A and B are shown apart, each in its own frame.
Chain A
Amino acid sequence: MAERGGERGGERGGFGRGFGRGGRGDRGGRRGGRRGPRQEEEKWVPVTKLGRLVKEGRINKIEEIYLHSLPVKEHQIVETIVPGLKDEVMKITPVQKQTRAGQRTRFKAFVVVGDGDGHVGLGVKCAKEVATAIRGAIILAKLSVVPVRRGYWGNKIGPPHTVPCKVTGKCGSVTVRMVPAPRGSGIVAARVPKKVLQFAGIEDVFTSSRGSTKTLGNFVKATFDCLMKTYGFLTPEFWTQTNFSMTPFQQFTDLLGKPTKGLVLEAPTETVEA
């Protein structure tokens, strides 16, 4: 008991004696210290059932989550199963509110995350400090990662490079229309939506926008909305009958006995555009 106190004083913020069973290791206790040496490797304790399944490694691809439309409530889920996720801060703007004692300024951060291969997320966060806003926006962006469907303009040679069909997205007064483009056209768009499209992994596209694109917040959200709709568009490939499969919760409940009960998971594969 005395040794526990000694250990506690010796290791800054960490308990030497961990949980022991199940290989949990030591728990890094973060004692309100946000400054100074932060424990970056702080272990994730999942909150939701989905988080638990991802942590155990039962779910390997994010497509399994998208297939059943499960809400992702923890950003660590996305961090774990989407490798190669890069983030970039697109803009930090001050947002002001008039109060009796003058103006109160907060900062709004726009962050886009993506792996350049069909997954992109957009996060917007307002906070009193820039660092808080950026951190919060990165987390929100990871929570909002969506799949992007890519297709062909003409010949189905090589990997898909453009949007499968004409799609349009809207936010506020801004509408963004994306039109398939032949290989080699590049992303024909304004600077701001171009970044989002690059993170999504689209190589060639023609875009057309309408509305007050000066409100770049709405512009970037409209582009994101447009990308979300690529998988919502019913094309002849999806006319065949769907074989429904069990959700991960049912699949991994031991009540059903053997977990591998002959499941056919039809994860939407983007390369097969026949």
Chain B
Amino acid sequence: MAEEVHLGLPGPWAADYREKADHYTTKIGGVPDWPTVDMGIKPETLQCSLCGTKLCLVAQVHAPVAKLNIEERIIYVLVCSTPQCGPKPQSWKVLRVQKCHNVMQTEGGGDELGQSNGPPSTSVPEEQNDKNKIPEIDDDDFDLDALAEALEQAATLASNSKKKNKSKHANAPVKCPVLKEQACDPSIPFLPCFYIYYDKELFGGKGTVGSSSSELVLDKEIMDTANDEEEKWEGEKYEYDKAIGADRTYLKFKKRLDAYPQQCFRYSYGGKPLMATTKLQDPGTCKLCGSPRQYELQLMSPLSYFLHEAGDGSSNYAPSSWTWLTVIIYTCSKSCCPSSCGGNPHSCCWGVAEEEILIQEDEVR
């Protein structure tokens, strides 16, 4: 599986949890930033299907798709704010907000995932090139220095440009302090808010750990003592990992989580999800166009830990009752246009589509 996986790592906390950002920001918690004021979303969509309370935002991910040339696309993950509804999958909702036609784009498109095809903005490909070079370099020192440079560039760029950098690699972590307006609707429940910055997962798969010289010495010692003993351990064969409370799938999940212990979500458009348990229901097909659904992103447990830590310990706090290991989100594979504009590029407006969500719980029994 050579799919690139982007990890959403935690950035700075928002100074005010209800502060407004724009719809290009990727953040956890807070209040949803709809692209236009009048989205035309029915109020039932923003209510829990079980108890009717208003949903609060868990994650807002700016997710353009380069292959389909869609840039204005955001995924909102919402959950019911009451703790009783927490464990039940029907209390979660995923909305895909998209504007299909981008003929009027001023900044030029197709730059999302690092392919620089003669882009109009000059600073964006520099960062992307830096970031593309980094995974090939094995040396630790160079890794971090180049990364620091790239981040500095990204930070200065973000402070200069008004629009959020849409490149996945160079997402500036800190929002401009100018936009600190309160959300319009004071009755929406909200969770503590922090921003996300992206990183590509450098996972070598099996056995990329190089042994340093000290470890080699240890190996030799062990092998020497082994040869001295009179007993021979015979008949050993390869054995899969097993623990009393954890099966092989979970141990693999934990191994990837331990590589980046703070990952809040994993993004891989059309890739394979990282399972925590073996059973998984079928995601089904898109309700609007009937094309099959494919994996796009999954929320990971450190997210619920961070939200739980930020809570004030009140009994009405939803993240304290979450026990899921991962929440997998499937979206339409064609990313169909949910708005009813009839394909006319000049009058295309924002549309909202509901997508599928599958929760993998931490089973206690």
Contact = CB atoms under 8 A, between A and B. Distances in A.
A178 interface: no
B323 A49 contact: yes
B1 interface: no
Contacts of A184: none
A125 B234 CA distance: 16
B207 interface: yes
A84 interface: no
B239 A1 contact: no
A254 interface: yes
Contacts of B315: 254-255, 257
A262 to B, nearest CB: 19
B103 interface: no
Interface in A37-87: 42-49, 52, 69-74
Interface in B145-159: 145, 147-149, 151-156, 158-159
Nearest to A220: B233
B243 interface: yes
B190 interface: no
B143 interface: yes
A2 B274 CA distance: 35
A141 to B, nearest CB: 9
Nearest to B212: A35
Nearest to B214: A131
A93 interface: yes
A144 B261 CA distance: 22
B301 A35 contact: no
Contacts of A93: 226, 233, 236
B238 A95 contact: yes
A127 B156 contact: no
A131 B246 CA distance: 22
A102 interface: no
B172 interface: yes
A172 B213 CA distance: 38
Contacts of A131: 209, 211, 215, 218-219
Interface string B149-171: 10111111011000000000000
Contact of B155 (A1, A19, A97, A130): A1
B360 to A, nearest CB: 12
A232 interface: no
A100 interface: no
Contact of B243 (A1, A140, A212): A140
B15 to A, nearest CB: 10
Given A42-B261, A48-B301, A52-B308, A71 B244 contact: yes
A210 interface: no
Interface in A121-162: 123-132, 136, 140, 143-144, 146
A221 to B, nearest CB: 10
A73 B218 contact: no
B211 A108 contact: no
B344 interface: no
- Most chain A Cβ neighbours within 10 Å, of B192, B215, B233: B233
B183 interface: no
Given A21-B13, A32-B143, A130 B152 contact: no
A255 B315 CA distance: 6
Given A47-B325, A255-B84, A29 B241 contact: no
Interface residues of B, number: 83
Contacts of B244: 71-72, 143-144, 146
Contacts of B151: 4-5, 8
B244 to A, nearest CB: 5
A36 interface: yes
Contacts of A89: 222
B316 to A, nearest CB: 8
Contacts of A254: 313-315, 317, 320
A47 B226 CA distance: 37
Given A132-B207, A140-B241, A214 B235 contact: yes
Interface string A174-211: 00000000000000000110000000000000000000
A255 B316 CA distance: 8
A17 interface: yes
Contacts of A20: 13
Contacts of B364: 70-71, 247, 249
A35 B140 contact: yes
Interface in A228-264: 247, 249, 253-255, 257
Given A1-B158, A48-B301, A128-B206, A95 B250 contact: no
B144 interface: yes
A13 interface: yes
Given A45-B302, A48-B325, 4 more contacts: A30-B259, A30-B260, A52-B308, A143-B245
Interface of B: 9-10, 12-13, 83-84, 140, 143-145, 147-149, 151-156, 158-159, 172-174, 192, 194, 202, 206-212, 215, 218-219, 222-223, 226, 231-239, 241-246, 250-251, 254, 257, 259-262, 301-302, 305-306, 308-310, 313-315, 317, 320-323, 325, 362-365
27 contacts: A2-B159, A4-B151, A8-B147, A19-B13, A21-B13, A21-B309, A42-B261, A46-B301, A47-B302, A47-B305, A49-B362, A73-B250, A73-B254, A89-B222, A106-B238, A108-B236, A125-B241, A127-B207, A143-B243, A144-B243, A215-B234, A215-B236, A217-B233, A249-B323, A253-B321, A255-B83, A255-B84
